[in-house]
């Protein structure tokens, strides 16, 4: 799981982009702590052909990206 909590824009997306480009995972989980990051990663993931499921984890969020 990528822990992108507390990172400024656009680093959470950069972290996801790096992993997607390097390993092209079929499934990827990302932990973030703001709705802005949820929105940004969701838009990027959709462009890369991933389905995104968002779950609340206390005050944080866990995004599960699954390749379509």
Partner 1 sequence: MKKRINPWIIVTGVLVGAAAVALTAMGNPKNMGFCIACFLRDIAGATKLHSAAVVQYVRPEIIGLILGAFLTAVATKEFRSKAGSSPATRFLLGAIVMIGALAFLGCPLRMVIRMGGGDLNAFVGFAGFVLGIVIGIVFLKNGFTLKRNYDSSVGEGFVMPGLALLLLVLLLAVPTIFAFSEKGPGSMHAPLIASLLISLVVGALAQRSRICMVGGMRDGIMFKDFNLLLGFAAIFVTVLIGNLILGSFKLSFAGQPIAHSDHLFNLLGMVLVGWGSVLLGGCPLRQLILAGEGNGDSAVTVLGMVVGAAISHNFGLAGAASSVAEDGTVNPGGVSPAGRIAICIGLVILLCISLVNTFVKKKEAK
Shortest Cβ 46–partner 1 spacing (Å): 6
Asked if 51 contacts 68 with a C-beta cutoff of 8 angstroms, the reply is yes
Q: Between residue 5 and residue 44, which ones bind partner 1 under the rule CB under 8 A?
A: 5-11, 13-14, 17, 33-36, 39-40, 43-44
* Closest of 35, 10, 14 to residue 2, by C-alpha: 14
- Structure tokens of 6? 């507390």
Pair of tokens at residue 39: 């929105």
Report the residue number, 9 or 25, with the smaller CB distance to partner 1.
9
- Which residues here bind partner 1, judged by CB under 8 A? 5-11, 13-14, 17, 33-36, 39-40, 43-44, 46-47, 59
């Amino acid at each position: 799981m990528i822990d992108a909590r507390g990172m400024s824009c656009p680093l959470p997306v950069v972290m996801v982009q790096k992993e997607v480009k390097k390993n092209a995972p079929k499934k990827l989980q990302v932990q973030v702590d703001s709705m802005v990051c949820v929105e940004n990663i969701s838009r990027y993931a959709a462009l890369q052909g991933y389905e995104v499921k968002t779950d609340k984890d206390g005050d944080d969020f866990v995004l599960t990206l699954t390749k379509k």
